[in-house]
Amino acid sequence: MSYSSKSPWLIHYDGSSCNGCDIEVLDSMMPLYDIERFGIINTGNPKHADIFLITGAINHQNVNVVKHIYDQMLEPKVVVACGICACTGGVFKDAYNVIGGADKAIPVDVYAPGCAVRPETIIDAVLKAVKILDEKAAKMGASEKNR
Q: Which residues bind another protein (CB under 8 A)?
A: 2-4, 6-7, 9, 29, 31, 34, 36-39, 41-48, 50, 61, 64-65, 67-68, 71-72, 74-76, 137, 140-141
Q: Which is nearer to another protein, 72 or 124 (CB)?
A: 72
Q: Which is nearer to another protein, 44 or 115 (CB)?
A: 44
Q: How far is the CB of 110 from another protein (least distance, A)?
A: 19
Q: How far is the CB of 113 from another protein (least distance, A)?
A: 26
What CA dihedral angle connects 135, 49, 34 and 102, to 10 degrees? Answer: -80
Q: Which is nearer to another protein, 10 or 85 (CB)?
A: 10
Q: Which is nearer to another protein, 4 or 88 (CB)?
A: 4
The DSSP secondary structure of 6-55, one letter per residue, reads GS-EEEEEE-S--SHHHHHHHHHTSTTT-GGGGT-EE---TTT-SEEEEE
| CA-angle at 19, arms to 31 and 120, nearest 5° | 40
3-state secondary structure of 89: coil
State residue 119 phi and psi, 5-degree precision: -55, -40
Q: How far is the CB of 120 from another protein (least distance, A)?
A: 17
- Going by the DSSP 8-state scheme, the letter that residue 67 receives in this structure is H
Q: How far is the CB of 21 from another protein (least distance, A)?
A: 18
